[in-house]
Amino acid sequence: MQNDIQEILISEEEIQQRVKELGAKLSDAYEGRNPLVICVLKGAFIFMADLVKVITVPVEMDFMAVSSYGATTKSSGVVKIIKDLDVPVDGRHVLIVEDIIDSGLTLSYLIELLRNRNAASVSVVTLFDKPAGRTVSLEADYTGFVIPDEFIVGYGLDYAEKYRNLPYIGVLKPEVYSK
Ligand code: PRP
Ligand code: MN
Ligand code: MG
C-alpha cells in the first residue's frame, strides 16, 4: 500500500468483480443497439478500459475531456470542454462512462449537451457514487459502488493529478491534502 494511503476502501479484486457485473448488464441492455461509449477524461480512463473488455456486444468508443472552471472549485457548475467528441451523436445510443459522481454538475452538463445534440438515448454508468456530495439531483443508470463522504483516490481518481494509477480505491491520509 502506498505511503499516502490511510486505508484500502475497495480492493482491486472487488473492483474487477463489480466491473464484470456491470459489463454483463450493459451487454444485455445494449444488445443490437451499437452504442457509442463515451469516456469522460481523465478520471474514467481506467474504468473505461476495463469495462469495454467485458462488454460482449459491438460498441464504438469516443473520448471527451471536460473541466469545471470559474473560481478555484468546481462548484460554479460551468463546465468547459477541453476535448470534444470526434463523432456526431445524433441518432446514437450514447453511454457515458464516469469514474465518480460527486456534486453531479459535470454529468448534468454532459447529459444536457448530448441530448441537445439529438442522441437517441443518453445513459450513464459510473463506478462510484458519492450521494453526500450532490448539489444537483442526478442518478446514474448503472452504479458500481455507493461510497461514503471520504476523500478517495485510485483507479483513475486523482488528488492533484496523483494516485490515478493505484489499482484499488484508497482513502488519502488527511495530512496529504491539508498540507
Ligand atoms: C472528477 C470526476 C468526475 C467529476 C465528478 O473529475 O472524474 O468527472 O469530478 O464531480 P462532480 O459530480 O462534482 O462534477 P475532475 O473534474 O476532477 O477531472 P479529472 O477526471 O480529470 O480528474
Ligand atoms: Mn472526471
Ligand atoms: Mg480530478
Of 118, 41, 114, 47, give the one whose Cα is nearest residue 82. Answer: 41
Query: Whole-angstrom Cα distance, residue 106 to residue 26?
Result: 22
Pocket, ligand 1, Cβ cutoff 6 A: 40, 42-43, 67-68, 74, 98-106, 158
Distance 42 CA to ligand 2 centre (A): 5
Query: Whole-angstrom Cα distance, residue 148 to residue 48?
Result: 23
Tell me: pLDDT of 70 over 90: no
What structural domains and CATH numbers belong to the chain?
A: 12-151 (3.40.50.2020)
Tell me: pLDDT of 10 over 90: yes
The pLDDT score that the predictor gives to residue 179 is 72
Mean pLDDT score of the chain: 94
Could you list the active site residues? Answer: 102
C-alpha R_g of the chain? 16
Choose which residue among 75, 106, 125, 147 to substitute to test ligand 1 binding: the one with the highest number of ligand atoms within 8 A of its C-beta: 106
ipTM comes to 0.98
Distance 33 CA to ligand 2 centre (A): 26
CA distance from start to end of the chain:
21
The pLDDT score that the predictor gives to residue 152 is 94
Tell me: pLDDT of 174 over 50: yes
Tell me: pLDDT of 72 over 50: no
Tell me: pLDDT of 99 over 80: yes
- For residue range 107-155, list pLDDT tens digits in order: 999 999 999 999 999 999 999 999 999 999 999 999 999 999 999 999 9
Ligand nearest to the CA of 133: 1
